[in-house]
Amino acid sequence: MIVTPSSQTPLDTPRNRLFSSTNMAKVRSHNRLNKKLYDARVPALREQLVGLQVRLKEAPFKVLLILAGEEAGGRGELINTLSGWLDPRGFETVAFREPSDEERERPLMWRFWRCLPSHGRLGIFAGSWYTEVLRAQADSEGSKPVLVSRQLERIRHLEKLLSDNGTLIIKVWLHLTKTEQSLRLAEYAANPDTAWRVTEEARRHHQLHDRLARSAARLRAATHRPGALWSVIDAADPRSRNLEVAGLIIQKLNAHLKRFEASPAQPPRAITPKSLEPAGLARLLALPLDQKLSSADYEAKREKWLGRLNRATRAAQAAHRSIIFVFEGWDAAGKGGAIRRLTSAIDARDYRVIPVAKPTDEEKSHHYLWRFWRHVPRAGLITIYDRSWYGRVLVERLEGFCTEPEWRRAYGEMNDFESQLVAHGTIVVKFWMQISREEQLRRFRDREETTYKRHKINAEDWRNRRKWAAYEIAVGDMLARTDTPDAPWHLIAANNKRFARLQILKTAATAIENALGL
C-alpha cells in the first residue's frame, strides 16, 4: 500500500536563489573546501548514506535523484563520487543516450518509465526528461514554445504522478557561472584524459551561457512543485558540491522515511461508493441492452466488417501507427469472445493480448500504470488489454486496494496516459461491455453447468456480483471522467452476444479509419 506524503512540503530553496541566474555569484562565494576538511567529513556522510539505504530497502517507495546543470558542472564526477559512497547494491545510475528505435517508436516518456527503479531503490538520473527540453532551448531561440509548453505539462504531470505515488524526487541543478565554466573547460582541455569532454556543443553552450542560464531558470521555475522541488547547488567547488548533494540526499531521504515510518500503510477496506458523476451512471443505465440480430444477418454483416477492420489495421501498420484496444466490462460480459472475433480480422503476428490479472511482484513495486506502459506496442503493432488500468477505479476502488485519494487521482493520470499515446499517434479504442444483472446470472449458471466453461467461474465472481450496484456507480464515474475526445468510451450493449461482437467490429474499424482519415 502506498501512503501519500503530505504535498504541503514547503519550497525549500529560497526563491531568489532558485530562479535568478544572475545573482548566483553573490550567493555562493562562501566555500572553497580544503581537502583535509573534506576528507574528515566524508566517513560520517557515507555511514549515514548507507544506513539510509538499509532503511530504504524495506520502504514502499523509490528515490529519484535527477541531475541537471550547466555544461561542465561536473555531473559525471559527482555521480562517480556518490557511487563510491553508496552501497552499489541499492542504487542504479540511469543514463540516456540517443533513443533506441524501440524507444523512438513509443511516446517520449516510455523510455523513462522503463528505467524507473523499483521500490526500495535509488535511481540516479544522469539524464532525464529535462535533457531534451534543455537541448531544445539551447538549439532554438524559443521558437518552439508550444512544443516546450506541452512538454513541460508532461513533465509536471509525470513528477506529480510519481510523487503522489510516494516517490521521493530530488532534483539538483549544478550551477556554474560563465567565468567558472570557462575555467573548468580550460582544465578539461588541458588534460588528455578529459579533453574529449570539450566538444563543439560544450563550446557553443559556453558561448550561450547567460541565455541558457536564464532559460534554465525559467524551466526550473515552471517545474518547481511540491514533491518535485529543485535545489540549486553551487558547482564551482567540486568538494563542496559533493558534500552538499550528499547532505541533501540524507536530509530529504531521512525526512521521507520518517514520514512513511510514522504513518504505516492502512489495511485495505472495502467501501460503499457514492457517485461522483451521476451523468455517467445515467448514461450507463440508459443503454438499451436487448437487441435483435438474426444469425444470417450477423454472418453477412460480420464478413463485411471483418474485411474493413482487416484493411484498416493494415493501413495503420503501413502508416506506422500503433493501436491499443481496451476491453472492460462485467464478468461474463463476453470480453474473451469479443476479443477472439476482433483478432480474427488481424494478422496474429501483429497483435498481442495482455490479460490483466494479479500484478507480479515486479509490477507491484512500481506505479500502477507501469505494468501497462510496459506493453505499449511498437510502431505498427497492436496491444489488446483484456481489462486494463481502469481496474484502479473499479475493483481497486471498491475493494479498498487503494486509498480514496489514489483512485480519485487515477482518472486524471489515466487520461494523461492515453493522451500521451494519442499524441504519439497511437489509436486508442476503449470498450465497455454492458450486460444486465439478469443476463450475468444466466451466464454464470451456464458456466457452472458446462464442463468446459467451469474454469471461467469462481467464488470471487459471485462475490463481485453481489456488489453490482456499487460497481455500477464506479463504472458510471469512470465513463464520465475518462471519456475524452482523444480516447472516448464505446458502450457496447452485450446482452446479445452477436450484436455486441458486430458492434465492436464496426466501432473498431470506424475508429481506425477515422484516425487515419480514410
Residue ranges that bind its own copies, judged by CB under 8 A? 47, 50-51, 54, 76, 79-80, 82-84, 87-90, 92-93, 95, 100-102, 124, 126, 193, 307, 310-311, 336, 339-340, 343-344, 347-353, 355, 360-362, 384, 386, 452, 455
Q: Rounded CA gap, 125 and 159, in Å?
A: 13
Cβ of residue 143: shortest distance to its own copies, in angstroms? Answer: 30
Give the closest residue to 330 by CA, choosing from 475, 218, 463, 204.
Answer: 475
> What ranges in 374-490 are assigned the alpha helix state H?
395-399, 404-424, 437-449, 459-466, 468-481
Query: 362 Cβ partners below 8 Å, 6+ apart?
Result: 118
Cβ of residue 365: shortest distance to its own copies, in angstroms? Answer: 9
Nearer to its own copies, 43 or 278 (CB): 43
Cβ of residue 272: shortest distance to its own copies, in angstroms? Answer: 31
Cβ of residue 455: shortest distance to its own copies, in angstroms? Answer: 4
Cβ of residue 454: shortest distance to its own copies, in angstroms? Answer: 9
Nearer to its own copies, 25 or 379 (CB): 379
**Residues pairing with 382 in the sheet:** 323, 351
Q: How crowded is the C-beta side of 5, counted as CA atoms within 13 Å?
A: 26
Nearer to its own copies, 270 or 318 (CB): 318
Helix axes 75-85, 238-262, angle to 10 degrees: 50
> Euclidean distance between the first and final Cα of the chain, in Å?
46
Quote the cell numbers at residue 141.
531561440
Exposed (0-12), middle (13-18) or buried (19+): which is 502, by Cβ within 10 Å? buried
Nearer to its own copies, 51 or 278 (CB): 51
Q: Rounded CA gap, 270 and 268, in Å?
A: 7
Cβ of residue 375: shortest distance to its own copies, in angstroms? Answer: 11
Check residue 225 and report its DSSP letter. B
Nearer to its own copies, 380 or 400 (CB): 380
Cβ of residue 264: shortest distance to its own copies, in angstroms? Answer: 21
Nearer to its own copies, 20 or 93 (CB): 93
**122-125: strand order across its sheet:** 91-94, 122-125, 63-69, 168-175, 230-234
Nearer to its own copies, 228 or 339 (CB): 339
- In the block, cell 481496474 appears at 391
Cβ of residue 102: shortest distance to its own copies, in angstroms? Answer: 5
Nearer to its own copies, 422 or 505 (CB): 505
